[in-house]
Amino acid sequence: MKPQPKPAAVAEILATGEEIRTGALVDSNSAAIAEQLELVGLKVVRLNGVGDDLDQLAAVLKEIGARADVCVVTGGLGPTVDDLSAQAAADAAGVGLQTNPAALGSIEDFFRRRNRPMNPSIRKQALLPDGAEVLLNPVGTAPGFQLRIGRCRFFFLPGVPFEMKRMLADQVLPRIAGLLGGCREVRRIKTLSCFGLTESLTGERLDGLGTQFPGVQLGLRARFPEIQVKLYASGADEARVAAALGQAAGWARDRLGDIVFSESGEPMEAVVGRLLRGRNASLAVAESCTGGLVSHWLTEVAGSSDYFRLAAVTYANEAKTRVLGVSQETLARGGAVHPDTARDMAEGVRRLAGATYGIATSGIAGPAGGSAEKPVGTVCIGLAGPGRTFGCRFQFNYGRRSMNKQMFAMKALDVLRRELLGLAHTP
Amino acid sequence: MKPQPKPAAVAEILATGEEIRTGALVDSNSAAIAEQLELVGLKVVRLNGVGDDLDQLAAVLKEIGARADVCVVTGGLGPTVDDLSAQAAADAAGVGLQTNPAALGSIEDFFRRRNRPMNPSIRKQALLPDGAEVLLNPVGTAPGFQLRIGRCRFFFLPGVPFEMKRMLADQVLPRIAGLLGGCREVRRIKTLSCFGLTESLTGERLDGLGTQFPGVQLGLRARFPEIQVKLYASGADEARVAAALGQAAGWARDRLGDIVFSESGEPMEAVVGRLLRGRNASLAVAESCTGGLVSHWLTEVAGSSDYFRLAAVTYANEAKTRVLGVSQETLARGGAVHPDTARDMAEGVRRLAGATYGIATSGIAGPAGGSAEKPVGTVCIGLAGPGRTFGCRFQFNYGRRSMNKQMFAMKALDVLRRELLGLAHTP
Q: Which of B131, B12, B121 is nearest to B62 (CA)?
A: B12
Cβ-contact B412, B345 below 8 angstroms: no
Q: Output the DSSP codes for B288-332.
A: STTTTHHHHHHTTSTTGGGTEEEEEEE-SHHHHHHHH---HHHHH
- What interhelical angle do B85-93 and B54-67 show, nearest 10? 50
Q: What is the pLDDT of residue A185?
A: 72
CB-count exposure of residue A92 (10 Å: 0-12, 13-18, 19+): buried
Q: How far is A113 from chain B (nearest CA, A)?
A: 10
The rounded percent of chain B whose pLDDT value lies above 90 is: 74
Residue A1 pLDDT exceeds 50 = no
Q: Dump pLDDT digits (tens) for A283-325.
A: 999 999 999 999 999 999 999 999 999 999 998 889 999 999 9
B21 touches chain A (CB under 8 A): yes
Q: What is the pLDDT of residue B426?
A: 66
Yes or no: say if B144 and B158 are a contact pair by the CB < 8 Å rule: yes
Q: B126 to chain A, minimum CA–CA distance in Å?
A: 27
* pLDDT band (50, 70, 90) for residue A363: very high
Residue B236: C-alpha distances to residues B42, B184, B243, B391 (Å): 12, 7, 13, 53
The pLDDT tens digits for A97-115 are 999 999 999 999 888 887 7
Lowest mean pLDDT segment, chosen from A132-136, A218-222, B108-112, B415-419: A218-222
Give every residue of chain B whose pLDDT is below 70, as ranges: 1-7, 182-184, 426-427
pLDDT value for B1: 45
**Distance between CA B102 and CA A51 in Å, rounded?**
39
Q: Give tens-digit pLDDT for A267-283.
A: 999 999 999 999 999 99
pLDDT of amino acid A182: 62
How far away is chain B from the Cα of A1, in angstroms, using its nearest Cα? Answer: 31
Q: Which segment, A25-39, A190-204, B54-68, B116-130, is predicted with the most confidence on average?
A: B54-68
- Predicted confidence at residue B330, as pLDDT, reads 95
* Length of chain A as a residue count: 427
Kind of pairing between the strands at B226-235 and B216-223: antiparallel
Q: What is the DSSP letter of A168?
A: I
Contact B39, B177 (CB under 8 A): no
Cβ contact, residue pair B300, A31, below 8 Å:
no
Q: What is the ipTM of this complex?
A: 0.81
Predicted confidence at residue A5, as pLDDT, reads 47
Rounded to whole angstroms, the Cα distance separating A248 from A231 reads 8
Helix axes A85-93, A54-67, angle to 10 degrees: 50
- Closest Cα in chain B to A57: B46
Q: How far is B92 from chain A (nearest CA, A)?
A: 18
**What part of A 281-300 touches B (C-beta under 8 Å)?**
285, 287, 290-296, 298-300
B contact residues 31-70, partner A, Cβ 8 Å cutoff: 31-38, 44-51, 53, 56, 60
**Cα–Cα distances in angstroms (integers) from residue A238 to residues A187, A245, A305, B164, in the given order:** 8, 11, 41, 41
Across A121-125, A395-399, A421-425, the highest mean pLDDT is recorded for A421-425
Average pLDDT over residues A230-240: 86
Q: What is the mean pLDDT of chain A?
A: 92
Which residues 6+ apart lie within 8 Å of B243 measured at CB?
none
Judged against a pLDDT cut of 50, whether residue A368 lies above it is answered with yes
Enter the pTM of the model.
Answer: 0.81
Q: Residues of B with CB below 8 A from A82's CB?
A: 218-220
- Whole-angstrom Cα distance, residue B88 to residue B59? 8
B310 touching A (Cβ < 8 Å): yes
- CB-based burial label for B163 (10 Å; 0-12, 13-18, 19+): buried
Q: Which residue has the higher pLDDT, B87 or A2?
A: B87
How many alpha carbons lie under 13 Å from residue B223 in its C-beta half-sphere? 17
Q: Do B221 and A308 touch (CB under 8 A)?
A: no
Residue A309 CA neighbour count, 13 Å, CB half: 25
